[in-house]
Amino acid sequence: MLVVKAHLTKIRCIGVHFYAFHFSQPSTSHMTTTSAIGESNLSRRAQLSTDQAIGRLMAQALAHPDLISLAAGFVDNATLPLTATQDAMAELAADEAGLRRALQYDSSAGSASMRSVLAEWAYRKWDYRPSIENVILTAGSNQLLHLLSECVLDPGDIVLAAAPTYFVYMGTLNAAGVRVIGVEADDDGVQVNRIAEQLERIEQAGEAERVKAVYVVTDFDNPAGSCLSQQRRLELVELIQRWNSRHGRVLLISDCAYSELRYAGEDIPPILADHPDASNFVVEAGTFSKSFSPGIRVGWGVLPDDLVAPMLGLKSGIDFGSPHFSQALMQRAIESGRVDAHLPVIREAYFGKLKVTLSALEKHFAGIEAAHWRRPEGGLYVWLTLPEHLDASEGGPLWQAAIEAGVLYVPGHFCYPSEGAPAQCNTIRLSFGVADEKGIDQGIERLAHAVRRVASN
Amino acid sequence: MLVVKAHLTKIRCIGVHFYAFHFSQPSTSHMTTTSAIGESNLSRRAQLSTDQAIGRLMAQALAHPDLISLAAGFVDNATLPLTATQDAMAELAADEAGLRRALQYDSSAGSASMRSVLAEWAYRKWDYRPSIENVILTAGSNQLLHLLSECVLDPGDIVLAAAPTYFVYMGTLNAAGVRVIGVEADDDGVQVNRIAEQLERIEQAGEAERVKAVYVVTDFDNPAGSCLSQQRRLELVELIQRWNSRHGRVLLISDCAYSELRYAGEDIPPILADHPDASNFVVEAGTFSKSFSPGIRVGWGVLPDDLVAPMLGLKSGIDFGSPHFSQALMQRAIESGRVDAHLPVIREAYFGKLKVTLSALEKHFAGIEAAHWRRPEGGLYVWLTLPEHLDASEGGPLWQAAIEAGVLYVPGHFCYPSEGAPAQCNTIRLSFGVADEKGIDQGIERLAHAVRRVASN
């Protein structure tokens, strides 16, 4: 996935716009409909998603076991809900009828009781509860995003997203031949007036009907750590409502993966909670992977009425519904209040690590001219911008220097769409999920050292 | 999924060949690249997979709660491994380090320890153990099949399969714009000489390079209950080896979903066990959904070397690996010997139900001229063929009569590919998985009653 993107943005970094593959112009593609014998045993999709940037990154980590990883997006092992899970397991094991149901197939949408508990839980504090008919359970929110892409996007379609944006989803879109157009973002998330400008440009180019979705990670987004402000959520809904009244429907995909991970500041309601009238075009994607356990892996989507049947049609062909045992276990954990009780534990742990990250940046990056970083109020990431001339790309001088200094990061350019707002190659995603506080401080010290070394050359 | 198929085969039943959608001829398609505003909010793929045959079938079941379902492919509630699961849960809960690992992400390929245990388990009796590097864990074998399609098949590509074949996978292929060509099958499974003839026809038509896979359900296949003989497995491997030496690679997809459900006769080794030299083109797909629990849902694939990286690339974009907790639980159940201990329980229960099914057919269908059925040695299905003039299609006179009599079945024509060997509309898939012995007997009695009523008209 990642790789294509990496390739594209690397090329864009030197000022050339190059699109590897447009289905709309098959004759210019390097892949023909009937590929030559032996040329490749892979589908077009797989050919677009098999380069090994993440693989290379992991290989670096393996080759240098002493590296501190500020790259991995894993959650903190220390925050995993051992006791809560043990209790939920014991309860499920003791309930023979419930266990029997957990061991059997369920519907493609997932267990009705879990969907009901989820609707109750997720929307308790917002005074907004979706119909469980509109809720579909998936293996993490990522599977929801993938299914949704399968369901509504064709090659050549357009999705607008923040620049930078969640690179795994962008990789999925790229592999499906979808064009992702990046829109400038700041501390308050993606800039809605820039989305409006972009839409206007697309309209003038006669491509309005190819725009199918606007994708936003609403809270503490991966990679930039920003949170879409309440005002912008309103503006975005209004903008898309206006657009949809003139054109075919554009979906607003609201990825809430990190919504529960707020450590400071005031909660901002999810888009559907504040704008229930937008339920015919808003899709909300949520998950317990970050807030409880990525191993149990229960995600969900709230879908517009008319997407429910087609999404379930696709899902039943793929897996007949996500593992029901996981849903039953997660349901127990929510119903018993254990998930709610666990959230403060997670938040406190991550808040501590966020503060260490920010302090370490202040301490070790002091005096590095023009280096600056976002100060998120939640999530797992801090977005670092280096002096403009400093290329943080994979394989570049800083990348090498950082590995030599013993620290691994995610180059920011991985996270930029190939069209729209240009990639900033002097950016870095720092994750404070996995490393402990000492490791974070040390990793950032090493990174600053590498930056100084490269900047002085 | 099902629906498109249903639609296609229904049309073929009256003798007209009609392909709803060929990417190779986009101009003749009813869907254009940029669809008209408001025409559809769905992708081409979703448009090919959203008709509601299964939905209609389930609606029938809901509208008539007194119906006996010989349609559902669920496993028997009574055979679910309650105690084995309770024990595995208790063990996992007591192992703090193991539980912590189960709650965290793992690799996209799935837990290495589970893959190792699986390789050991699955191949113990065959003296053949695949490298765990070639094993990938999925949410049921269905997800493996879907991923594989994504990875190697483009619209317009060709897959050969038995006629009839597993309709859910065929639906997935149809939705991806892949052509499925049906090949005649008998009690020993798909006829390899017919595959050879079909390949020759395709070669002569200049389409050799579009053939990408031959799909077989090796043991007690869904829907026909037949088992591919050892001799045919050998012939098939040799045929594909010859083909591959002349053309690009054709994969042999061996779906082993029901391999553990043999109740009589001698085991036949899986293709890879007997033909390890074919590992560069054979894919094996297995699952514990039928042999242990479809709720825990752990499936796997054994892949040729060169497909591992691209499959993992796609999988990481979709879900970063299937739920690890399920894998950890399943691993405990295998390691402790509980899966092996549970298999005889399942086999005995299903064997009893198979015998009831066959007796009921003999008793209630006695005197119905030309009605005959396969006598499988395992699995969950019996394939029933009615007098030739009797159309068992959904919505037809027998279908209606059966519902009025209080029984639900899967029309056989759902299971026929749209090309190749013609659909037999006088066929029925009977499943004895869900109903109890009394229900099976009564359901078949009702079905025979309906057949007599319609045949006499």
Tell me the shortest Cα–Cα distance from A388 to chain B, in angstroms: 31
Kindly determine whether residue A52 and residue B172, on different chains, have CB atoms separated by under 8 Å: no
Cβ-contact A321, A110 below 8 angstroms:
yes
User: A110 Cβ partners below 8 Å, 6+ apart?
Assistant: A135, A136, A137, A138, A300, A321, A322, A324, A327
CATH 3.40.640.10 fits B106-337, yes or no: yes
For residue B11, pLDDT over 50 is answered with no
Least confident of A202-216, B126-140, B251-265: B126-140
Q: Give yes or no for A205 touching B (CB within 8 A).
A: no
User: B303 Cβ partners below 8 Å, 6+ apart?
Assistant: B134, B135, B136, B283, B311
Average pLDDT of the segment spanning B39-60: 70
- Which segments of chain A belong to CATH 3.40.640.10? 108-339
Mutate to test the interface with A, among B3, B37, B39, B42 (most CBs of A within 10 A): B42
| A255-307 pLDDT per residue, tens | 999 999 999 999 999 999 999 999 999 999 999 999 999 999 999 999 999 99
Tell me the shortest Cα–Cα distance from B372 to chain A, in angstroms: 31
Least CB–CB distance from A1: residue in B42, B96, B316: B316
Least confident of A288-297, A385-394, B62-71: B62-71
| B242-261 pLDDT per residue, tens | 999 999 899 999 999 999 99
> What is the C-alpha to C-alpha distance for residues B288 and A53, in angstroms, rounded to an integer?
33
Least confident of A308-322, A335-349, A361-375, B62-76: B62-76
| B290-330 pLDDT per residue, tens | 999 999 999 999 999 999 999 998 998 888 899 999 999 99
Least CB–CB distance from A171: residue in B92, B209, B317: B317
Least CB–CB distance from B247: residue in A37, A175, A320: A37
| A149-167 pLDDT per residue, tens | 999 999 999 999 999 999 9
DSSP code of residue A378:
B
Find where tokens 């459900």 sit.
Answer: B261
CB atoms within 10 A of CB B372: 13
Q: Domain A108-339, what architecture?
A: 3-Layer(aba) Sandwich (3.40)
DSSP code of residue B378:
B
Q: Give yes or no for A101 touching B (CB within 8 A).
A: yes
Tell me the shortest Cα–Cα distance from B255 to chain A, in angstroms: 15
Exposed, middle or buried, A369 (CB in 10 Å: 0-12/13-18/19+)?
Answer: exposed
3-state secondary structure B40-93: CCCCHHHHCCCCCHHHHHHHHHHHCCCCEECCCCCCCHHHCCHHHHHHHHHHHH
Judged by DSSP in three states, B383 sits in: strand
C-alpha distances (whole Å) from A406 to each of A368, B31, B293 are: 19, 54, 45
For the segment(s) B2-79+343-455, the CATH number from 3.30.430.20, 3.40.50.300, 3.90.1150.10, 3.65.10.10 is 3.90.1150.10
